[in-house]
Amino acid sequence: MEMKRQSEVRDLLSQNLIDYKVTITNLQSAPLFGSARGRVGSFGINPDYSYEYKIYVHKKDFEQAAYFLQKLREYAKE
pLDDT, tens only, 15-32 = 999 999 999 988 777 566
For the cut 80, the answer to whether the pLDDT of residue 35 exceeds it is no
For the cut 80, the answer to whether the pLDDT of residue 43 exceeds it is no
pLDDT at 48: 64
Distance (Å, whole) CA 33 – CA 26: 14
pLDDT at 51: 84
- What is the tens place of the pLDDT at every residue in 51-75? 889 999 999 999 999 999 999 888 8
